[in-house]
Amino acid sequence: MNRTVQVVIVEDDPNDAYFIQRAFQQAGVKAPAHICTTAQDAIHYLEGSGEYADRARFPFPNLLVTDIKMPGMNGLELLRWIRDHPEFQVIPTVVMSSSHQTEDVKCAYCLGANAYLCKPADANMFRNMFAALLQFWSFCEVPPTDSPLCHELTGTHRI
């Protein structure tokens, strides 16, 4: 990999979380992904609040992968929250869901998702999909999170 990819996965299904972690290990990812089991937990992670205040232990992610179908706040609502908080819009965000529904795909992209992947049922395909995803994002440039660029472009400024 070109650089370390700090990934936050938002996934409520423990089986899918296990397969994701395994795919990361098999892809040779140095830093393990952090699994958030709810969208609200992911927001706390992004904000660096509560238990996530220590950025040495919980580094700011440069890739977020979220499921859609989750209890409470779902993945689409998380995308909406990110869209409403420009300081987090620099994080490439990928939706990985079992839903093939056109409306879910369209809504995810309209809310700012950078990609939408359907979870494959086959474990090898799942691993290969994650390896390709991680390899791609390891070569992409991502602006620093303290960059005022997003604030200037969106016309908002948060202090």
- pLDDT tens, 4-51? 678 899 999 998 888 888 877 777 777 778 999 999 999 999 999 999
CB 111 within 8 A of CB 77: no
One-letter-per-residue 3-state SS of the chain: CCCCCCEEEECCCHHHHHHHHHHHHHCCCCCCCEEECCHHHHHHHHHCCHHHCCCCCCCCCCEEEECCCCCCCCHHHHHHHHHCCHHHCCCCEEEEECCCCHHHHHHHHHCCCCEEEECCCCHHHHHHHHHHHHHHHHHCCCCCCCCCHHHHHHCCCCC
The answer to whether residue 14 is domain-embedded is yes
Residue 101's domain comprises 7-154
| Confidence check: pLDDT of 106 > 90 | yes
Share of the chain above pLDDT 90, in %: 48
CA angle in degrees (0–180, nearest 5) for 100-105-108:
140
Asked whether residue 159 is domain-assigned, the answer is no
Domain assignment present for residue 1? The answer is no
pLDDT score recorded for residue 147 = 47
Beta pairing partners, 7: 63
Indicate whether 2 belongs to any domain. Answer: no
Mean per-residue pLDDT, 117-141: 84
**The domain that contains 18 carries what CATH number?**
3.40.50.2300
pLDDT of 63 above 50: yes
pLDDT value of position 159: 36
CB of 26 closer than 8 Å to CB of 33: no
Q: Is 119 a member of any domain?
A: yes
Of 151, 154, 158, 147, which is closest to residue 62 (Cα–Cα)? Answer: 147
Give residue 77's pLDDT: 97
CA distance 113 to 65: 10
Tell me, yes or no, whether 43 lies in a domain.
yes
- Total residue length of the chain: 159
At residue 83 the predicted structure's pLDDT band, cuts being 50, 70 and 90, is very high
pLDDT category at 113 given cuts 50, 70, 90 is very high
Q: Does the residue 93 lie in any domain?
A: yes
Model confidence at 150, pLDDT cuts 50, 70, 90, reads low
Segment 65-80, tens digit of pLDDT: 999 999 999 999 999 9
The arithmetic mean of pLDDT across residues 50-58, rounded, is 93
The residue whose two tokens read 């859609």 is: 68
Looking at the structure of the chain, the number of domains it has is 1
Neighbours of 70 (CB within 10 A): 23
